Chain A
Amino acid sequence: AQSVTQLDSQVPVFEEAPVELRCNYSSSVSVYLFWYVQYPNQGLQLLLKYLSGSTLVKGINGFEAEFNKSQTSFHLRKPSVHISDTAEYFCAVRNAGNNRKLIWGLGTSLAVNP
């Protein structure tokens, strides 16, 4: 069975500071990894995904994440955050085969303060 652990439930940060949201997963098979963002009163939207190839993936809004197979991690980073990045961030994993079920973490609430 697969699982996802988001190590921080809340991350407060000042505007223009760097941020890292941590995600670890467990799986006995190859996986695809995703980060989704949920802005207040909006639906979930895809930030970025890792399927294969380069372990550093870039997404929308200046976010990037690095897949580390040995540490089973997929941490999300942004070098300089804006107030508008305040949102809930979810890490998710699925089997790289035909099973399209996503397993989700509990989410990390990012609060960007002026």
Chain B
Amino acid sequence: GAGVSQSPRYKVAKRGQDVALRCDPISGHVSLFWYQQALGQGPEFLTYFQNEAQLDKSGLPSDRFFAERPEGSVSTLKIQRTQQEDSAVYLCASSLDSRTNEKLFFGSGTQLSVL
């Protein structure tokens, strides 16, 4: 596709429910990032993939958060037993694998509301 696509655009979950957020990166982009953006805040790093390898997951806030990219393309961020503090916009970004010339292309995000 022309850009990074995220789905769903909006998700409302009841506390305790599991959710799965999908990211389709730009075709050919090797690197994929997940960020969490709370209301009125800047994005916060969650995790990063290079192809199918998850190279950094230091930003995942708890073991309820899990991300995968099994074929090195589409990625899914899963949140188990959602809590109210998980409410945020979840941003996905992709880039060519160029560690010294990084330009991230962002999707429009998934806005998660946990009631």
Contacts and interface: CB of A to CB of B under 8 A. Distances in A.
Contacts of B105: 43, 45
A110 B37 CA distance: 19
Nearest to A99: B56
A106 B42 contact: yes
A44 interface: yes
A94 B101 CA distance: 12
Q: Dominant SS at the B interface?
A: loop
A42 B42 contact: no
Nearest to B40: A106
Leading 10 A-B pairs by shortest Cβ distance: A104-B42, A43-B106, A44-B106, A101-B45, A43-B108, A104-B43, A46-B103, A106-B42, A105-B42, A43-B107
A105 B44 CA distance: 10
User: What bracket does the count of chain B residues touching chain A fall in?
Assistant: 20 to 34
Interface residues of A, number: 24
Contact of B43 (A32, A46, A102): A102
Contacts of A49: 102-103
B4 interface: yes
A112 to B, nearest CB: 21
Contacts of B93: 44
Contacts of A98: 99
B59 A101 contact: yes
Interface of B: 3-4, 31, 33, 35, 40-45, 48, 56, 58-59, 91, 93, 99-109
A67 interface: no
Interface in A23-52: 32, 36, 41-46, 49, 51
B102 A100 contact: yes
Given A43-B91, A43-B108, A44-B106, A90 B42 contact: yes
A104 B100 contact: no
Interface in A45-100: 45-46, 49, 51, 90, 92, 94, 98-100
